Amino acid sequence: MMLRLDLLQLSFGLIIFATGISSVRQVPVPILPRLCPQGIPDRKINTAHLTIVNDDAQSSTLVVYLQSEQCYKCDLIPTVLVTSNCTLNVDSRWPMRVEIRVLNESGTVITASPNCSEKALTMLYVEGGKYNIYISMDLVDNTINCVPTMSETGDPHIPIYIALGACLFLIILWNLGQYMYSKGYIHRILCFWSTESMMSDLGTPTNINQIDDASATGQQPRVAVKERLKSLDTFRGISILLMIFVNYGGGKYWFFKHSKWNGLTVADLVFPWFVFIMGTAIAFSFQGQLRRNIPRWKIFLRILKRTATLFLLGLLINSFGVGSGVNFDTFRIPGVLQRFAGTYLITATLFLYLAPANNPSQYIRLAPFRDIIMYWPEWFVNLAFIALHTAITFAMPVPGCPRGYIGPGGLEQGGKYFNCTGGAAGYIDRKFFGDSHIYQSPTSQEIYQSQVPYDPEGLLGTVNSCVLCFLGLQAGKILFIHTDWVKRCHRFLIWSIFLIGLGTLLCKASLNEGWIPINKNLWSLSFVFILSGMAFFLLMVCYILIDVYKIWGGEPFYFAGMNSIALYCGHEFFSGRAPVSFVVPDTHASYLTLNIWGTTFWLLVSVYFYFKNIFISV
């Protein structure tokens, strides 16, 4: 039997290889089905068990074709050869395309009957589920019949529901504690057993929010001091804590990891939001320095210093985890902090030298649009950035690839553009940095089986990240120029609707079929516009709750936002190390608990830093 299977596998491989040659595909190695593994495979996370029950094992050999629906325009892959019962693991993160065909002894593949076709067997195989497909042979029609069945399984998202419930409980408890403290109830409870003399020494508890009456005390009314907008630091804190959580694994849920190519997940939000709020902070920092008449050349030197610091920190982080020393022949140059550095250098320099002096009488007739009209040179440059990125992406010739290709390469479109991962963006990085100095394991590799390196923090994407940072800078200009909170929120909401609508138009509200799909790897225009629109909306909500109505103090995110760079570098250094990483069982519940603990640890560090007045910045 084993000899017969080996011959069948060889013949099947020759057929696949011949097909690959005839279609002139760039797939370097033909994909051959493996023999069905013996026994039941170990249960793994993000998988389900699929058992093929072949009732006619002596007269037919089955070929099981599999492919994830996440793989856009990918051919079915011949995965296993089945002569009897066979159990294998299938991906449960996205719907799985399944088709079963017959391979006879002559190596001919018999077309599957309708109930064994891809259309009939494709479904979302729930994690931990057990699925059976019963096969029977119709000798008259020389076809096979498939009858799928499934067993009930639990909900893999239960750990998330429990975690959200626990977070909601803590939030309620925190707000209840704040309310009781503000009303003096906690003080009264703590002093309940005190003697009367002690109570007289302590005095009567008062509301900490109470304002003394100036006429009653005879004192002069206190002058209101302009406070730092806590909503900005809270926004930054939300971004950094979410970034730590997804970087630590996000419980190994697919939506807490980066998209494989096109699309948007929770993990794709945090980096752009960080870039956005960096732009918002530039407006406040530089306007204050210019008002103090600090020479622009001195401010530019500070820009260069911060750029160099961020870039060097990024290189240092790239060296983490290298046990036997850094090999400069394969050292990665781009990275997250490197992207921050380049974006900050360009956006801050443009704002420094193109922003006009603040003249209240200027553009008086266009006062509602001052936050745009006053900065028209910056708008001109950033519109040029958009045109440049679009022209390079869709017009630059890339050897061996169609003009304007922005796909993941590999198996996409049947493997016709196997080595074209990222199109012009990938080609520029491979030429500028070299293949060995950019990211070697792009997110597309798992699904599309691409083999060329691709860096999501490459050069061309920096152009669009500057646009995103500029839109964050626009939010800062709105806060700086318009003093009325209603006008600020109106503008935040308008920008949010406009940008999300524009991004949705570019991607045609589709995952893969739009003119410019949402893509974090490429930092596509639709990605930049939609993430900027979401950032405007989130900033508006934080601003209303925290700085306007003061319903929320921004805790606990506010503390993390005050030391975001320190937390980012620290969490990268301790990644995979105690006290934030331990060996745990291979379950979502275990990983989610571990990753929440890792995030909580850095939150506690930020709280400690805050109350010790330790603020680390670059």
DSSP for residue 228:
P
| 8 Å CB contact between 590 and 596 | no
DSSP for residue 84:
S
Q: Which of 29, 31, 35, 32 is nearest to 4 (CA)?
A: 35
How far apart (Å, rounded) are the C-alpha atoms in residues 121 and 100?
9
Contacts of 316 (CB under 8 A, 6+ apart): none
| 8 Å CB contact between 557 and 238 | yes
DSSP for residue 548:
I
How far apart (Å, rounded) are the C-alpha atoms in residues 116 and 103?
14
Alpha-carbon dihedral angle through residues 332, 336, 339, 345, given to the nearest 10 degrees: -120
Q: How far is CA 533 from CA 111, 263, 515, in A?
A: 49, 16, 19
How far apart (Å, rounded) are the C-alpha atoms in residues 289 and 296?
9
| CA angle at 226 for the pair 225 and 227, rounded to the nearest 5° | 105
Provide the β-strand partners of residue 130: 49
| 8 Å CB contact between 70 and 260 | yes
DSSP for residue 100:
E
How far apart (Å, rounded) are the C-alpha atoms in residues 511 and 69?
12
Structure tokens at 238: 């939300």
Indicate which residues carry an active-site annotation.
258
How far apart (Å, rounded) are the C-alpha atoms in residues 354 and 382?
12
How far apart (Å, rounded) are the C-alpha atoms in residues 283 and 247?
29
Strands 47-54 and 86-91 come out as: antiparallel
| 8 Å CB contact between 347 and 470 | yes
For the chain, the straight-line distance linking the first and the last C-alpha, in angstroms and rounded, comes to: 68
- Peptide bond just before 399 cis, omega within 30 deg: no
Alpha-carbon dihedral angle through residues 133, 137, 142, 145, given to the nearest 10 degrees: -30
Question: How many other C-beta atoms can be found within 10 angstroms of the C-beta atom of residue 304?
Answer: 12
Strands 130-138 and 47-54 come out as: parallel
Question: How many other C-beta atoms can be found within 10 angstroms of the C-beta atom of residue 73?
Answer: 11
Upper half-sphere CA count for residue 297 (Cβ side, 13 Å): 0
